[in-house]
Amino acid sequence: MLDLTIAAPEAPDLAPDAIVVRIAERRRLTDRIDEFVLVAADGAPLPAWTPGAHIDLGLPGGPGLSNGLVRQYSLCSDPGDLASYRVAIDRRDDGRGGSRAARAALTPGSETWISPPRNHFPLVRALQYVFVAAGVGITPILALAAEARRSGRPWRVIYTARSRDDLAYGDVLRAWAPDRVTLHASRADGRLALDRELAGLPRGTAVYACGPAGLLDDVEAACAQQPAVDAFVERFSQRSLDTREDRPFEVSLALSGATFRVPPGCSVLEAVERRGVVVPSSCREGMCGTCETGVVSGEVDHRDSVLTPEERAENESMMICVSRCASGRLVLEL
């Protein structure tokens, strides 16, 4: 009998806690979005997680692709079911290769590796919740909205896509409570008026949003005008950074004793790697939190999308893939 099982790509040395998983199921949700069900290759339960969490997913190379791609995907399954994880991947042609690699290589029966879940987008306690999503941004929102529903607190979902056929999981949401779910098709309905949808929110409302930059900017603007309304956003890509004023600075590694300068145009992560120091990393855009490193001394110029304002003020860690030094010298726990 011919064995067509594809071996899992080797997990990088940077991820000693990587979990080998098998693709148990793959199905098309929309013309652009595929869903993948992942189970542990050894049949063991997968690690526990909370709504809003994501995983690193190892993606084998395909035609015209380099091997060893790692991308982050939100979990959209039931946190109570640790027999499997579910992720949905947008089959974009304008991304960084992850979508093409997934489409080419992640077939039922094939194996790959994942990281344990991490959560930088958790559901906070609030009096009520409003969830806003566009396209594949529904993936973290689906799990968050399900948790809000279980909590018994008021909740509402606003979900937009180009057409009705592009609303992945729209039928799932409507089945929960059709009066609490707004499904919007921009081609037919025009631009979603978030200033109107989010107007007059009661104090103590938490608004969660995931989608393209324009949508998230609109959400933040609408919430900023209202007292005691908190906005939490998860971005597909890092905001554009103005690097024109970047200056060189000195970095010392507390554990190895090395000291070096980081010039403009070079990240701390790149400078550290050039000196042979291995630091776990993935997105290199300040979004996934993999490269978070402890700060012994020095003031950090935080440029990531992971740390909260309170965590930034504590100045105890930084994402060394994007953040820099605001004081001339940093001492890091490396």
Q: Which two tokens stand for residue 170?
A: 């729209």
308 or 142, which is more confident? Answer: 142
Q: What is the mean pLDDT of the chain?
A: 88
| Distance of alpha carbon 300 from alpha carbon 319, whole angstroms | 10
Query: How far is 292 from 212, CA to CA, in rounded Å?
Result: 24
Which of the two residues, 93 and 270, has the higher pLDDT score?
A: 270
Can you name the CATH fold of 19-114?
Answer: Elongation Factor Tu (Ef-tu); domain 3 (2.40.30)
Q: 316 Cβ partners below 8 Å, 6+ apart?
A: 294, 295
Q: What's the topology of domain 249-332? A: Ubiquitin-like (UB roll) (3.10.20)
| Prediction pTM value | 0.79
| Sequence spans of domains, the chain | 19-114, 128-235, 249-332
Q: Which of 5-14, 26-35, 100-109, 289-298 has the lowest mean pLDDT?
A: 5-14
At 76, which helix (H) or strand (E)? none
CATH of 128-235, one of 3.40.50.80, 3.30.465.10, 3.40.50.10800, 2.40.30.170: 3.40.50.80
Mean pLDDT to the nearest integer, 216-227: 93
DSSP codes, 102-124: HHHH--TT-EEEEPPPB-SSPPP
CA-CA-CA-CA torsion sign (270, 273, 274, 275) = positive
Q: What type of residue sits at position 204? A: G
pLDDT over 90 for what percent of the chain?
72
Q: How confident is the model at residue 7 (pLDDT cuts 50, 70, 90)?
A: very low
Starting at the edge strand that comes first in sequence, how are the strands of the sheet with 249-253 ordered?
259-262, 249-253, 329-332, 292-297, 317-319
pLDDT above 90 for 259: yes
pLDDT at residue 14, rounded to an integer: 40
